[in-house]
C-alpha cells in the first residue's frame, strides 16, 4: 500500500451548502486527524481544530486451504 504517514490529503469541495463529505481511500484500523478550511477569493481561511477519527478494522483474508 501507499504510505501516507504525515502526508496531508486535500479535498476541494466546490458546491455551496455542503455539510458532509465522504473521504475514500483510507486505510483500515488507522487514525486520521481531519481539519476543514474555507477557500475564498482572498485565499484559504483558518483551519478548524483537528478532529481525530479512526477507521474500522479491515475484513480478514480468506484462509488458505491446501489439499
pLDDT in tens, 2-56: 555 667 778 888 888 888 888 888 889 999 999 988 888 888 889 899 999 999 9
In a domain, 47, yes or no: yes
In a domain, 62, yes or no: no
pTM of the model: 0.65
Residues of the domain holding 25: 1-57
In a domain, 27, yes or no: yes
Half-sphere exposure of 59 (CA within 13 A, CB side): 2
In a domain, 35, yes or no: yes
CATH number, position 24: 2.60.40
Instruction: Give how many domains the chain has, as a whole number.
Output: 1
User: What sign has the CA pseudo-torsion 29, 32, 38, 42?
Assistant: negative
Give the Cα separation of 35 and 47 in Å (integer).
6
Q: What are phi and psi of 42, to 5 degrees?
A: -90, 0
Amino acid at each position: 500500500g501507499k504510505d501516507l504517514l504525515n502526508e496531508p490529503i486535500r479535498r476541494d469541495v466546490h458546491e455551496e451548502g455542503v455539510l458532509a463529505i465522504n473521504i475514500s481511500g483510507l486505510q483500515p484500523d488507522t487514525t486520521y486527524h481531519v481539519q476543514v478550511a474555507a477557500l475564498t477569493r482572498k485565499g484559504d481561511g483558518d483551519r478548524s481544530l483537528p478532529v481525530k477519527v479512526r477507521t474500522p478494522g479491515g475484513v480478514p483474508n480468506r484462509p488458505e486451504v491446501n489439499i
